[in-house]
Each structure stands twice: as C-alpha cells, then as structure tokens.
Amino acid sequence: MDNTQWLVGNGKFVNFWIDNWLGEPLVKQFNIHEKFHNILTSRISDFLHNSCWYFPDNLLSACPDLLSTVSIITPAGTDIEDVLIWKNSNNGQLSLKQAFDFVQCHCQRVSWQYFMWNTFIPPSQSLLVWRLLYNKIQTNDNLTLRGFSFPSVCDLGHSHRETSFHLFFECPLVKNYWNWLKNLLETRIIVHNMQDCLSILADNWSPQASTVVVACIANVFYQSLEG
C-alpha cells in the first residue's frame, strides 16, 4: 500500500493513525511501536467536529505536534466519502497497465529467466526447471522434510538415496544424458549444478545455437525426471 493514499472526505473509513492520508502514516511520523498498532483503531471522523479538528487534552499532551501535523489537511465534509487513490497516476485510479508496470519494475531480475521461459521450450519443461531452481521437485528428500517417512531410493539407478541433486546431476543414467549433450555440442562440459548449466549458456553461442542449447538442457532435465 506504499503507492496509495487516502483523500479524506468524512473520515469514516480511514484509520487515523495507521492509514496513509498525510503522505506518511502517523504511526511512522510519531515513531509508534508496532506492538501498539492493534489498539489504534480510531477513525479520522473520531477527531472531527463540524469539519474541524478536535483532540482531547491528554492526546495533545502526549503528541504536542499532532494538531500542526494534521492541519495541513482540511476534511472535505460529512457528505463526501473517503477515496483511496493510486499516487502514481494522473487521476488517482489504478489501471491494469499501471499495475503491470509497477509489478514489472519491482520484480527481481534473475539470470535464468530467459533460459527458463522461452517459446521454444514446452511449458511442461519450463515448469520443471522452475521447480528445480526453487527445490520444489517432490523427490524423496523433500517429501521427508514435509513429514513423510519411507525408504528413499532413486527410481533410475536403484542404488542411491533420491535427492534433486542425485536425480538431475549425479545418477549414472542422467550422466549419460549430459554426455550426450557434451558430444552434441562438441565441447567439454562439466555439469554439477544449475550454475554450471548457466555457465554453458554464457558461452559465445550464436542466437540459433543458443536456442538449441537451451532446449537441449531443458530436455535433459525432463528426461531425467521421466526416466
């Protein structure tokens, strides 16, 4: 809500202390600790009388600058409702395009985004790579962390505990896939983790060759899971 602000009308919908109606919430301006926020339930309308500010003496004693701080805002009147506006638009309204642009500019740029999401990679393979990057593959070790208890063994080689690392990089059958890729590219590659895959893509490939390499790597992961 950092990019929104209330235009005060009758003040019935705006939390006096916590909502942003002055450019910054009053809890921040007066350094009120978060542990007290849940008891600060007063609305702006609770401190208005005939559209003028009115505060109890004990509150003004505790916050001497309160009246001067809020006096920069003149409430619009009892017949006008409060309006929540988007600060980064000309008319205060949030359009779909503005929401998209805001999310885009705040998204973290990652080195593998163009590797993973490409039109020439089947969505099922892109999703698999995404799950692998975030360690969301339902391998036995991950299931164990979620409370499941059972013997763990790789379904491909039947000789090692099943983990994401083993399944995609260490299993002898999977190493055959990586050797296939090495022979296909006619280059020496050593793949032990996802960073090694990104290092392959960092080589000076032509745009067409880079497309093929990305598709091949994604297919290796897919075949490793499918067996």
- pLDDT of 182 > 60? The answer is yes
Rounded distance between C-alpha atoms, residue 57 and residue 129, angstroms = 63
53, β-bridge pairs: 48
15, β-bridge pairs: 43
Percent of the chain at pLDDT above 70?
85
Q: Span 121-135, mean pLDDT?
A: 84
Pick left, alpha or beta for residue 54 (phi over 0 → left; psi -120 to 50 → alpha; otherwise beta). Answer: beta
pLDDT at 2: 67
How do the domains of the chain map onto residue ranges? Answer: 4-106, 113-226
Q: Using 50, 70 and 90 to split pLDDT, how confident is the model at 15?
A: very high
Least confident among 91-100, 120-129, 154-163, 195-204: 91-100
pLDDT in tens, 140-153: 888 887 787 777 77
- pLDDT of 25 > 80? The answer is yes
Q: What is the pTM of this model?
A: 0.47
- CA distances for 1 relative to 18, 92, 135, angstroms: 11, 14, 31
pLDDT in tens, 36-80: 999 999 999 999 988 889 999 999 999 999 999 999 888 777 778
Contact 10, 76 (CB under 8 A): yes
